[in-house]
Amino acid sequence: MWQAEPGWHPLPGGTGTSTVGVWRTVLAGRPVVIKRLAAPAPDDPVELSDPHHVGYWKRPALVAASGLTESTPGLRSTPLTAVEEDEDGITLTQDWVEDAANSGLFSARALGRFAGCDLGAADWLARDQLRDRMRRTERRGGWRVLARTTVADLADHLWRRRESLLGQLDDLPQVPQHGDPVRANLPGRVHDDVIAIDWGTLGHGPVGADLGHLSLDARESFEPLLEAYGIGLPEALAQPEQVRAGAQVTAVFTALNRAEWALARVAGGEGALAGKYRHPAVAPHLRTLQRQFPQIEALLARSEAD
C-alpha cells in the first residue's frame, strides 16, 4: 500500500474526493510538491471515472503528463517532474511554486488571456463544470440548510430558476478555463503570466466563469476584476455583458453551494443554526456569500425579466 514518506510536510487543504493528500519536500536539492490521487473504488460515484466530469480523478495527472498548459498564455503550469501510477492510484511530483503575491487584477487579466488559448480537443477535458457541481448539490437535497437562514427566499428563487440560468451559460462563447482559479491556486508569476496549480478541473466553459471563481476570494471588488479580465480577453472573443453573465452566475451559484456545504456540516450539532454562523469552518463562506449580494440582485432581476 502506498504511503507518504515520514519527512514530507503535509500542506493544508490537500484532500478531496480523489486526492489523498499533498505534501512539500525536497528531492535532490529541489523543492517539490507531491500529490497522491486515489483510483476510484467500486462503490465510489461513477462520475469519478467520467473523463468529461468535473470530478474525473485522473485529470490532474493527464494535464501534467501532457504538458498542455506549460506554455499557454496568461496562465500556465510548472513542468512535470514525475508521474507514477500503480493499481491504487497515481503519485504526481512537480516543482514547488513560490508565492508571488499576485493581485486579483493581475490574475483576472491573466485569466482573460488564458481564455483565448487553444487547448485542443483532448477527451479528458472537463465540460459543464458548474452544471456538474449543481447536480452534486441536487443529490444532497439542494440548498436545504440555506432554507433555514435569512437568505432562504432569494436562494429558493435562484434554485427554482437554476436550469434557466445554466442554459444561458450554454449560449455564451465557450472558452478554455482552469475551473478553480481561487487565489491559492494562482500563486506564481513569470513575466506577464500567472503560474497556476491544481489543474484537475481544466476544460472548457462559458466566458467569464473563471472570473466568477476568482471574484469569490479576491481582495478587489467585482467591477475592477471584470474590467481587468476584459483587458486580457482577445478582441472579439466575447462582449462585456457576456463576460459579466458568465461571471455572475458562476460566482453566485458557487458561493451558495459552498455556504450550503459548510452549514450542512455543522447543522446537525446542538444549538440553533444561527449560533453556528461564526464557526471557523462556516464564517468565511458566509462572508463570501455576503459579498455576492450585488451579483445576486443582478441575477434576480435578470431571471424576473426572463
DSSP the chain: -----TT-EEPTT---SSEEEEEEEEETTEEEEEEEEEPPPTTS-GGGG-TTSTT-TTHHHHHHHHTTTSS-SSEE-PPEEEEEEETTEEEEEEE--------HHHHHHHHHHHTTS--TT-TTSB--HHHHHHHHHHHTTSSTTGGGSTTHHHHHHHHHTHHHHHHHHHTSPEEEE-S---GGG--EEETTEEE----TT-EEEETTHHHHHHHTT-SS-HHHHHHHHHHHSPTTS--HHHHHHHHHHHHHHHHHHHHHHHHHHHTTSSS-GGGGTT-TTTHHHHHHHHHTHHHHHHHHHHHHH-
pLDDT in tens, 19-75: 999 999 999 899 999 999 999 999 999 999 999 999 999 999 999 999 999 999 999
248-287 pLDDT per residue, tens = 999 999 999 999 999 999 998 778 898 889 999 999 999 9
Q: What is the pLDDT of residues 117-166, one digit of tens each?
A: 999 999 999 999 999 999 999 999 999 999 999 999 999 999 999 999 99
Q: Which residue has the cell 463544470?
A: 129
2 in a structural domain: no
Rounded Cα gap, residues 203 and 243, in angstroms: 17
Rounded to an integer, the average pLDDT of 219-240 is: 96
What percent of the chain clears pLDDT 90, i.e. is strictly above it? 88
Q: Are residues 151 and 277 in the same domain?
A: yes
Q: Which among 95, 118, 148 is the end of a domain? A: 95
Give the span between the Cα atoms of 277 and 189, in whole angstroms.
Answer: 36
Q: Which of 95, 120, 143 is where one domain is finished?
A: 95
CATH number at residue 65: 3.30.200.20
Residues 252 and 126 in one domain: yes
275 and 187 inside one domain? yes
64 phi and psi, to 5 degrees?
A: -65, -45
Burial class (CB in 10 A: 0-12, 13-18, 19+), 261: middle
Looking at the structure, tell me whether residues 270 and 197 fall in a common domain.
Answer: yes
Total of domains in the chain: 2
pLDDT for position 17 = 74
Query: How confident is the model at residue 177, as a pLDDT?
Result: 97
pLDDT category at 15 given cuts 50, 70, 90 is low
The pLDDT of residue 269? 78
Residue pair 190/100 in contact (Cβ under 8 Å)? The answer is: no
Task: Note down the domain range covering 54.
Answer: 9-95
Burial of 143 (0-12, 13-18, 19+ CB in 10 A): buried
> Residue 238 falls within a domain, yes or no?
yes
Does 216 or 14 have the greater pLDDT score? Answer: 216
**Strands of 9-10's sheet, edge to edge?**
9-10, 19-27, 30-38, 89-95, 80-86
Residue for cell digits 491544481? 198
- Residues 45 and 122 grouped into a single domain: no
pLDDT category at 80 given cuts 50, 70, 90 is confident
Q: Nearest 5°: phi and psi at 119?
A: -90, -5
Which pTM was predicted?
Answer: 0.93
Q: Are residues 65 and 154 in the same domain?
A: no
Q: In the listed set 68, 95, 122, which residue is the last one of a domain according to the structure?
A: 95
Cell of 106: 493581475
The partner residues of 80 in beta bridges, in order of sequence, read 94
Q: Is the pLDDT of residue 1 over 90?
A: no
Residues 270 and 198 in one domain: yes
The identity of residue 76, as a single letter, is: R
What is the percent of the chain where pLDDT is above 70?
Answer: 98
Same domain? 128 vs 65: no
Rg (C-alpha) for the chain, rounded Å, is 19
